[in-house]
């Protein structure tokens, strides 16, 4: 259940009290422990919660952190009847969801996303997991949280880069949705000022963006078909993100935004996506996200990283492309030459 909350105290109280449990655990990272936990600390049902704090940023989304969370649950007397609340961004909700899904073969959990990225992407859809062996989200399971509580007041705690990171997923939702509403149309998304955020408008846009993902996930919960639409920008984006992990890590949404440039270019040359629309998106991304300093010498490594994408079959790299806004073409392929051409466009286009 997804709750778009205007009263975080009431929403959390109702969600926790609706799940019978013997012990309550609260997972945060060092950033959300400092900035976000104080906003919910005095809610009566949270006062007895045992705190588990992990390192911030995606570099801690790994097996060592996962083991530390399992250990804290065990040492804290956690049982199969315990409940975990994940308060944080996508790293916290992904790793926390995976920890809860596997501890004692699975305990219930609640997600309270605190970043724009986690509100519109990571906390919705039941994907959990960690990075492993240098690859993004390589290990994980599908397991839906009991409740996702979204309160856009948390967005005021974000810095500019994290607003931009989440907004990339909203841009993706605007591209894949044929249901254009007041705030979710691509033209409105491209006109939004990320340097001077209108939080009231952003809150309305979040609700519409979440609805796009929720509808797709409901139709295809295990990603056998149309849910692959949500991977637009991610085949190249995840390769960019994994490439950057060993150099200077980048936020997920930045990698996705750069991946959108590449995969919209592929859509133009392979599935007839309008060139002028592609150019508008490219301009918006370059103005707000800059670029990634790859060179042609990096192409083989990036191509190799794309071969590990979970959507692939029989060693063939699979893309989600578009024929137009809302015209989704899943299971598209591209040759190595076409992918290298796409990377050329990313660097020079």
Catalytic machinery residues: 105, 127, 169, 213, 223, 227, 231, 234, 238, 252
| Rounded (to 5) percent helix, strand, coil in the chain | 55, 15, 30
Q: CA-CA distances (angstroms) from residue 204 to 154, 185, 201, 208, 319? A: 14, 13, 5, 7, 30
Cα radius of gyration rounded to whole Å, the chain: 20
Helix (H, G, I), strand (E, B) or coil at 220: coil
Side-chain-side CA neighbours of 165 within 13 Å: the count stands at 24
* Torsion sign across C-alpha atoms 306, 308, 311, 315: positive
Element of type H or E holding 333: strand 327-333
Q: CA-CA distances (angstroms) from residue 212 to 71, 173, 181, 310, 325? A: 37, 6, 11, 22, 13
Sheet holding 83-88, edge to edge: 2-4, 147-150, 109-113, 83-88, 24-29, 50-54
Q: Answer for the pair 110, 15: CB distance below 8 angstroms, yes or no.
A: yes
Q: Answer for the pair 8, 39: CB distance below 8 angstroms, yes or no.
A: yes
């Amino acid at each position: 259940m997804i709750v778009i909350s205007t009263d975080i105290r009431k929403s959390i109280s109702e969600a926790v009290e609706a799940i019978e449990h013997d012990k309550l655990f609260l997972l945060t990272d060092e950033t959300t422990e400092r900035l976000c936990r104080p906003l919910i600390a005095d809610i009566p049902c949270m006062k007895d919660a045992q705190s588990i704090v992990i390192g911030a940023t995606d570099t801690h989304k790994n097996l060592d952190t996962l083991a530390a969370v399992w250990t804290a649950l065990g040492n804290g007397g956690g049982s199969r009847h315990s409940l975990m609340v994940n308060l944080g961004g996508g790293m916290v909700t992904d790793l926390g969801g995976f920890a809860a899904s596997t501890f004692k073969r699975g305990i219930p959990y609640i997600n309270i996303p605190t970043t724009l990225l986690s509100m519109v992407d990571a906390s919705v859809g039941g994907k959990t997991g960690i990075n492993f062996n240098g690859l993004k989200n390589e290990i994980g399971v599908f397991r839906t949280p009991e409740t996702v509580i979204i309160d856009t007041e948390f967005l005021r705690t974000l810095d500019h880069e994290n607003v931009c990171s989440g907004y990339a997923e909203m841009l993706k939702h605007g591209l894949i949705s044929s249901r254009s509403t007041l705030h979710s149309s691509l033209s409105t998304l491209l006109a939004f000022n990320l340097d001077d955020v209108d939080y009231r408008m952003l809150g309305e846009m979040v609700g519409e963006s979440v609805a796009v993902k929720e509808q797709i996930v409901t139709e295809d919960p295990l990603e056998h078909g149309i849910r692959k639409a949500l991977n637009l920008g991610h085949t190249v984006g995840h390769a960019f993100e994994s490439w950057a992990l060993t150099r200077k890590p980048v936020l997920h949404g930045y990698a996705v935004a750069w991946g959108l440039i590449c995969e919209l270019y592929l859509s133009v040359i392979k599935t007839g996506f309008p060139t002028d629309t592609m150019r508008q998106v490219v301009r918006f991304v370059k103005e707000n996200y800059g670029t990634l300093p790859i060179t042609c010498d990096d192409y083989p490594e990036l191509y190799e990283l794309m071969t590990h994408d979970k959507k692939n079959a029989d060693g063939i790299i699979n893309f989600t492309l578009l024929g137009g806004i809302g015209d989704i073409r899943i299971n598209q392929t591209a040759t190595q030459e076409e992918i290298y051409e796409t990377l050329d466009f990313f660097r020079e286009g």
